[in-house]
C-alpha cells in the first residue's frame, strides 16, 4: 500500500520513514508568548520538518548553537509561563475545552449509534 500523503511520499525518497507517529496534544509557545496547540499528527510532522530546515545562509553550527541555547532556556520559560496567573488560567481553560470537546464527541457518537 502506497503513501497517500505527497509530503511523506517525497520525504521517503530521502529518509527511511518510521512506523511511529506523534500522538497527543503538542503545545508550543511563540516568541511573543502565545500558546499554540496541535493534535493532528500530520500537522506536527509538517511543522517539525519545516522548522528544522536550514536557511541557505545559515551554517549548521550556528543553527545547532541557537537550538541548544533555546533548549537551555526552556525550563525557565515554562516556569515563567506557569507562574503567570493568566497563563495558568488559559492552560486550564484549554484543558476544560478539550474535555468538553471529547464529551461532546462521545455524546455525538452515542447518538449516532442509536440511529
24 part of a folded domain: yes
Note if the pTM is more than 0.75.
Answer: no
Confidence of residue 3 (pLDDT cuts 50, 70, 90): low
Number of H helices, E strands in the chain: 4, 2
| pLDDT in the model for residue 1 | 43
Number of domains forming the structure of the chain: 1
15-64 tens-digit pLDDT: 676 777 778 888 887 777 788 888 888 888 888 877 777 777 777 778 77
| pLDDT in the model for residue 101 | 93
- DSSP one-letter code for 99: H
Q: Which domain holds residue 36?
A: 20-52
41 part of a folded domain: yes
Using DSSP, state whether 36 is helix, strand or coil.
strand
Q: Return d(Cα 113, Cα 115) in angstroms, integer.
A: 5
Q: Return d(Cα 9, Cα 45) in angstroms, integer.
A: 13
Amino acid at each position: 500500500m502506497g503513501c497517500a500523503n505527497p509530503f511523506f511520499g517525497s520525504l521517503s525518497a530521502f529518509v527511511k520513514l518510521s512506523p511511529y507517529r506523534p500522538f497527543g496534544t503538542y503545545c508550543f509557545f511563540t516568541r511573543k508568548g502565545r500558546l499554540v496547540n496541535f493534535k493532528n499528527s500530520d500537522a506536527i510532522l509538517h511543522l517539525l520538518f519545516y522548522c528544522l530546515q536550514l536557511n541557505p545562509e545559515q551554517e549548521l553550527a550556528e543553527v545547532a548553537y541557537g537550538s541548544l541555547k533555546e533548549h537551555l532556556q526552556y525550563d525557565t520559560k515554562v516556569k515563567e509561563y506557569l507562574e503567570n496567573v493568566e497563563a495558568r488560567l488559559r492552560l486550564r481553560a484549554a484543558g476544560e475545552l478539550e474535555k468538553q470537546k471529547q464529551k461532546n464527541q462521545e455524546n455525538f457518537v452515542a447518538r449516532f449509534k442509536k440511529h
